[in-house]
Chain A
Amino acid sequence: MHVIGNITIYLAFFLSIYAFIVYILGINKQDQRFIDSGKGATMGIFILASLSMVLMFVLLGTSQFQFEYVAHYTSSDLPLIYKLAALWAGNAGSLLLWTFFLTMYSAMVTFSKKMKRNPMTPYITSILLLNIMFFYFILSFVTQPFAILENTPVEGRGLNPMLQDPGMVFHPVTLYLGYVGLAVPFAFAIASLIVKNMDAFWIQMTRRWTIIAWAFLTLGNVIGGYWAYTELGWGGYWAWDPVENASFMPWLTVTAYLHSVMIQERKNMLKIWNLSLIILSYALTLFGTFLVRSGVLTSVHAFGETNLGAYFLVFMAFMVIFSMYLLMSRYQLIKKDTGQFEAYVSKESSFLINNLILLGGTFAVFWGTVFPLVSEAVRGTKVTVGVPFFNTVMSPILLSLLFLMAICPLIAWQRASFKNIKDKFLIPAIISVAVAIVIVVMGVQDAYPVLGFTIITFMILTHLVEFIRRTRARRHVTKEAVPVALFRLMIRSRRRYGGYIVHLGIALIAFGIVGANFDVERMDTLAIGETLTIGDYTLTYEQLGQRSDGVNESVFARLAIEKHGRDLGYIYPERVFYLNWEEPSTEVAVRSTLREDLYVVLSGWEEDRRATFQVKINPLVQWIWIGSFVLVLGAVFAIWGGRYGQVNPRYTGPERNVY
Chain B
Amino acid sequence: MIRRRWLLVCILLFIMMPTYNHVQSQDIYTINSPEVKDIASHLAMEGHSEHDLATCTTMQRYYEEIAEMLNEGFSKQDILADYEAMYGEQGFREPNKTGFSLLAWILPFIALGAGTTAFIIRVTRQVKGHKQLTDEAREGQEKGVSQDSTENDIMKALIEEEKRHHL
Contact = CB atoms under 8 A, between A and B. Distances in A.
Given A388-B41, A523-B32, A393 B92 contact: no
Given A340-B126, A381-B89, A393-B108, 4 more contacts: A341-B127, A364-B108, A371-B104, A603-B55
Contacts of A363: 108, 111-112
B13 interface: no
A259 B3 CA distance: 76
A353 B119 contact: yes
A342 B134 CA distance: 10
A559 to B, nearest CB: 14
A386 B116 CA distance: 27
A387 B127 CA distance: 41
Contact of A384 (B49, B54, B122, B130): B49
B89 to A, nearest CB: 5
Interface residues of A, number: 51
Given A367-B107, A379-B100, A393-B105, A384 B93 contact: yes
Interface of A: 232-235, 239, 241, 298, 300, 340-344, 349, 352-353, 356-357, 359-360, 363-364, 367-368, 371, 375, 378-379, 381-389, 392-393, 397, 521-524, 586, 601-603, 612-614
B44 interface: yes
Question: Which of B50, B90, B100, B109 has the largest count of A CB atoms less than 10 A from its CB?
Answer: B50
B56 A233 contact: yes
A375 B123 contact: no
B161 interface: no
A386 B100 contact: no
Instruction: Give the dominant DSSP class at A's interface.
Output: mixed
Report the 3 A-B pairs with minimum CB-CB distance, sorted nearest first: A614-B54, A364-B108, A386-B93
Contact of B50 (A239, A353, A613, A614): A239
Contacts of B54: 232, 523, 586, 601-603, 612-614
Contact of A298 (B31, B47, B60, B122): B47
25 contacts: A234-B50, A340-B129, A341-B126, A364-B108, A367-B111, A368-B108, A383-B89, A383-B90, A383-B101, A384-B44, A384-B94, A385-B94, A387-B41, A388-B93, A389-B95, A393-B105, A393-B109, A397-B112, A521-B53, A523-B32, A586-B54, A586-B55, A602-B54, A613-B54, A614-B53
B140 interface: no
A91 B122 CA distance: 45
B41 A378 contact: no
A521 B92 CA distance: 22
A476 B125 CA distance: 42
A357 B112 contact: yes
A360 B108 contact: yes
A413 to B, nearest CB: 14
B47 A360 contact: no
Instruction: Give the dominant DSSP class at B's interface.
Output: helix
Contacts of A393: 105, 108-109
Contacts of A342: 126-127, 130
B144 interface: no
B73 interface: no
Contacts of A522: 32
A530 to B, nearest CB: 15
Nearest to A352: B119
Nearest to B37: A521
A233 B101 contact: no
A386 B41 CA distance: 10
B42 interface: yes
B119 A356 contact: yes
B55 A375 contact: no
A235 B90 contact: no
Interface in B82-139: 88-90, 92-96, 100-101, 104-105, 107-109, 111-112, 115-116, 119, 122-124, 126-127, 129-130
A393 B126 CA distance: 32
Question: Which of A341, A353, A382 has the largest count of B CB atoms less than 10 A from its CB?
Answer: A341
A360 B44 contact: no
B51 interface: yes
Nearest to B107: A367
B95 A385 contact: yes
A379 B89 CA distance: 12
A388 B130 contact: no
A240 to B, nearest CB: 9
B52 interface: yes
A340 B130 contact: yes
Contacts of B124: 344
B126 to A, nearest CB: 4
B101 A375 contact: yes
Contacts of A356: 112, 115-116, 119
Contacts of B109: 393
A368 B52 CA distance: 22
Contacts of A521: 32, 37, 53
A387 B93 contact: yes
A340 B49 CA distance: 50
A357 to B, nearest CB: 7
Question: Which of A235, A392, A523 has the largest count of B CB atoms less than 10 A from its CB?
Answer: A523
Contacts of A389: 93-95, 104-105
B122 A341 contact: yes
Contacts of A524: 32
A386 B91 CA distance: 12
Given A357-B112, A360-B108, A382 B47 contact: no
A375 B95 CA distance: 10
A341 B121 CA distance: 12
Given A385-B104, A389-B104, A521-B32, A349 B90 contact: no
A524 B63 CA distance: 13
Contacts of A523: 31-32, 53-54, 60
Contact of A386 (B31, B89, B94): B94
A367 B47 CA distance: 20
Nearest to B47: A298
A360 B53 contact: no
B52 A367 contact: no
Contacts of B50: 233-235, 239, 241, 300, 386-387
A602 B52 CA distance: 12
Contacts of B89: 381, 383
A136 B96 CA distance: 44
A160 to B, nearest CB: 15
B112 A360 contact: yes
Question: Which of A371, A386, A614 has the largest count of B CB atoms less than 10 A from its CB?
Answer: A386
Contacts of A586: 52, 54-55
A368 B51 contact: no
A307 B49 CA distance: 28
A601 B55 CA distance: 9
A382 B119 CA distance: 35
A602 B146 CA distance: 89
Nearest to A386: B93
Nearest to B57: A604
Contacts of B49: 384, 386
Contacts of A385: 93-95, 104
A601 B60 CA distance: 14
